[in-house]
Every structure is written in structure tokens, then in C-alpha cells.
Amino acid sequence: MDILYLHPAKQEANARFDKYKASSPYPFIPVGVIGLINLLRSEGWQVEGFNLSMTLTMYPGFNLLRWLASKPRPKLVMIDLHWYEHAFGALDVAQTVKRVWPTVPIVLGGLTASNFAEEILENFPTIDFIIKGDAEKPLRLLAAHCCGEGTPALASIPNLVYRAAGTIHQTTHAYFATPEDLDALDFVTLDWLHHADSYSALQYSGTGLLRLHDPNLKSHWLCIGRGCVFNCTYCGGGKASHNTLAGRNGYVIRRPERVVDDIERLVAQGFQQVALSLDPATFGPEWWRPFFSQLRSRQLTIGIYNEFFQLPSVEFLDALAASADVQHTEVAISPLSGDEAVRRQNGKFYTNERFLAMLERLAAHEIPIFIYFSLNLPGETPQTFKQTLHLADAIGKQYPSHLLRMLNPCHTLDPVSPMSRQPAAFGLQVHYQTFMDYYTYCKGTAWLPRHVTRGEHRGYEMIGRPAATVEQMAQIWDIFAKQQKFRCFPVPSGW
């Protein structure tokens, strides 16, 4: 083995989910990692991958330290730090790796690592390298440096931040992935990942019941592009954020025929569903018309999980219904609030009337849906929350109950989101700004206390709406949820 990839949990590396009640361990691997690892393998390197987060839920007695000690010593260890929820867990995994292999270099990557690269290297000597932004070329060169002859020189590797002689350096060269770069990658093959079938089962959306030990339904999150064209207030992966962290302005999109090629491989491997990493409805008909057309012409039977960023067109919905296996399809839509002004303030630009009309079309096609509100976004007050309850009730009465799921969680502050960058514009007090703020947050919220005030420890507070008010709203929602015939979930008490 030349390279070992580890996906961390939110919790510590030796977490015991059988002894304590945990917040979500966040087991999903960033979709770009799959392409990166298959790129390294195409260069001739032997790579193994391990999803610690998922393994700890499947085998509560699993011990990462002992497992590492049983493995051959790699020449490079990769750990993803894409989502801030892994800020503590990723660093604890790194510390565990160094206990077994003190001299093996560790590289981090992902949006969170990119944003806090210098601070992480200053505070955590276990981390040797961080790749900021797109990693295809930088990681390939870093692997050659660590696993080969020590070339190229670190200073020549683009997007790299590293420590040398106690000093932190950032290279002056930059790399940005092109559509051609993404089309050349393999985002499907997972034979390098331990418990790959269980991970495929974990990704399936729709049943609410996951069989990790005996997978019967499989899905796969597939990269269809990168970036975004929107700036939703709460999202650290919006257009402005990608511009800051990866030098990207808008979307970088794969060709539809290459995406269909990948889906054809998934169908051949027995997958029932593919989850799309971006919303193709926002790409425009010049992309999704040939995409759906090729799914039909190649006679590929597979369900599609898609999260709509805005409202799709009627033509898109009809094409989706005509092309996907509806039995294994689910779409997610986030109106955020029943109050149209609050929704618009937070980045969703449609009225309740248009939203409900779209649901009529989806219901006609019998497509399962997952509706997401958000209890604590800027502008949501006890008064506007009444409109949220009214809209949720209208959805429940209109949509077939066996096809409907609904959730109203609290948001935590995303780094580099508009809320984080411009709190005054949204009437917020922000509490999380540094990496250590997020590290401390993750460490403190990994396990659920006996009593949780929903709205606390979210990194921000709307002025005039304390956490106690959010908790009151949550209790009202929980009562509403219990009264519904469809799957309406209470406000989560974890983070």
C-alpha cells in the first residue's frame, strides 16, 4: 500500500456509538475524493480507503489504532476535511495515525481545510500538507513527491500549503479544474474502499431504513460538476465561497454524455439509484435534455436522487419522470420558510403558489419528495413560523402521504457563507470565526447531552431571537409532526 485514505467521523477516532447517544457522524465521503483516488491509482499507486464514520456505526467495538497497526506502513495518508462537522474528528484521526506511524506525512483537503489551511498547520503539527481548492494536479504531484523519488519539489506543487523548517509556506502556483479535467476522472469505481457495498447502501435515499450489513438497495453520489451559481445565505458552498476557496466563478460542468457513461456503469453493477451532486435543472435545457434523452436511448433503468436548488421547469419534471425509475427516485426541495420574504432573503426565489403548483406536477408523476424547512435562518420569527406551519400543512394535505417526507432542522453557521461574512446584513451575532471555534464546537457537540435547547451552539444568533425562542418553535413543530400521516420528523436535537 502506497497511500491510505481515511474518512473521519464527527466524533473522536475511538468513538463508541454503542455506549453513548451520538450526533450524526457524517459518514458521506465528498464526491470528489472518489475521482482523486482513482486518479492516483491510474498513476500506478496502490491506494486503500476506509470510512471510519460508517465503520464505527456498523462495528461499535472497532479500534482504529489497532487496525492501523495491523496494516503495512503507507507513504502518504489522505484525510478529507471538506465539511466543518469533521473539524475535530479529522484532526483526531490524524493524531491516531501519527501514534502508529510518526513519520508518515498526512495531507488534508476540502473546503473547510482550504479556508483554514494556515491556522490548521499552525495549531496541529500532525498535519504536514493541505491542498487548497481543486486537488487533481496537486495531489498527483504530491503523491509523486511522497511515494516516489522526492520530486517534484514541494514549492512547485500548485495549491499546496506545507510546513518546512517550522515555517508555513504556500506555493505561488495555482490550479483550477476544467470540465475536461473532471470528464477524465473515474467517479464510480470503489473497489479500493473497505465495505464498499455497505457504503453504497448507506447512500440510498427514500426508504428510511438502511441495511449496511446486508445491502439490498444501492445508490451512488456522482460528481456531475463543481461550484454554484447561487449565494444562499447559509451555504458555504455558494458562488462567492467557491470563488474565494477555489478560484471558481460559477459552475464547472461535466458533459452529459460522460455522466450517462458513469450511470451506465452503475446500472451494470446493480445500483438502483444515482444521486446527483449538483442540480441539473439549473444547468439549463442544453444540458439536461441530452442527459435525459441518452438515459432513455440507452435504456438505463435507475432511480435519481436530486436536490432542487430552485424550482425546476415543468419540462424538466416531465423529462425526469419519463427517464428515471420512479420507484427508486426521490427529489429534495428546500422552501426554507413558509414566509415568502424570509425565503427570498435566504436565497430561494419562488412563491408559495408556484411551489404548490410544482408539487401538483410531481404528485401526478408519483415522485417521492423530501421537503426541508429551516427553523433558525435569518428572518424566521414566531410570527413567520406560523406561515411555515401553514405551508407544511398545505403540503401534507396536497401530496400523497406515502410519497412525502418532511424535516425542519436548525442550521449551523457555515464558514465563508454570506451569513458568516456579512452578519450585520442579516441581523446576526456570529460566534464561530476561526478553525478552533469549529474544532471546539465539533468536540463539544459530538455526543448528545440529556437536555438540548435547540438553537444553541449553532455559531450564530439572530438579534432578538434567542435560542430559547427557537426551542419554543421547535416544540410547536414537534407537535405538528406527530399529527401528520406522512413521515414528518421532529426537529433534530443533535448537531
For the chain, give every domain's residue range: 3-133+135-170, 210-488
Q: Is 19 helix (H, G, I), strand (E, B) or coil?
A: coil
The span from the CA of 437 to the CA of 91, in Å, is 14
Provide the pLDDT for residue 343: 99
C-alpha cell of residue 151: 520530486
Q: What is the pLDDT of residues 3-40, one digit of tens each?
A: 999 999 999 999 999 999 999 999 999 999 999 999 99
Percent of the chain whose pLDDT exceeds 70: 99
Provide the pLDDT for residue 468: 97
Provide the pLDDT for residue 207: 59
pLDDT band at residue 224 under the 50/70/90 scheme: very high
Residue with cell 446500472: 267
Q: What is the pTM of this model?
A: 0.97
Provide the pLDDT for residue 209: 56
Provide the pLDDT for residue 117: 98
* Helix axis angle, 285-297 to 256-268, nearest 10°: 30
Q: What is the pLDDT of residues 412-435, one digit of tens each?
A: 999 999 999 999 999 999 999 999
Provide the pLDDT for residue 316: 99
The span from the CA of 78 to the CA of 113, in Å, is 12
Provide the pLDDT for residue 208: 56
For 178, other C-beta atoms within 10 Å of its C-beta total 12
Residue with cell 457563507: 417
Give exposure, 52-89, as e/b (b: 16+ Cβ within 10 Å): bbbbbbeeeebebeeebeeeeebbbbbbbbbbbbbbbb
Q: With CA atoms as reference, report the closest residue to 71 among 1, 5, 8, 6.
A: 1
Element (DSSP H or E) covering residue 164: strand 160-164
First to last CA, the chain: 36
Which is more confidently placed, 452 or 212? Answer: 452
Contacts of 298 (CB under 8 A, 6+ apart): 260, 264
DSSP code, position 154: G
Provide the pLDDT for residue 360: 98
The span from the CA of 7 to the CA of 61, in Å, is 18
C-alpha cell of residue 18: 454503542
In sequence order, the β-bridge partners of residue 222 are 276
Give the pLDDT mean for 63-74: 98
Q: What is the pLDDT of residues 145-192, one digit of tens each?
A: 999 988 899 999 999 999 988 899 999 999 999 999 999 999 999 999
DSSP E strand stretches across 415-470: 428-430, 460-462
The span from the CA of 159 to the CA of 148, in Å, is 20
The span from the CA of 375 to the CA of 385, in Å, is 8
Q: With CA atoms as reference, report the closest residue to 50 among 29, 70, 36.
A: 29
Contact 405, 489 (CB under 8 A): yes
Fold of 3-133+135-170: Rossmann fold (3.40.50)
C-alpha cell of residue 208: 428510511
Q: CATH number of the domain at 210-488, out of 3.40.640.10, 3.40.50.1820, 3.30.2390.10, 3.80.30.20? A: 3.80.30.20
Percent of the chain whose pLDDT exceeds 90: 96
Element (DSSP H or E) covering residue 297: helix 285-297
The span from the CA of 309 to the CA of 349, in Å, is 10
Residue 120 has pLDDT above 80, yes or no: yes
Provide the pLDDT for residue 92: 99
Q: What's the whole-number average pLDDT of the chain?
A: 97
Q: What is the pLDDT of residues 340-362, one digit of tens each?
A: 999 999 999 999 999 999 999 99
Please classify residue 18 by burial: count the beta carbons closer than 10 Å to its beta carbon, then call 0-12 exposed, 13-18 middle and 19+ buried: exposed
Residue 214 has pLDDT above 90, yes or no: no
Give the pLDDT mean for 275-286: 98
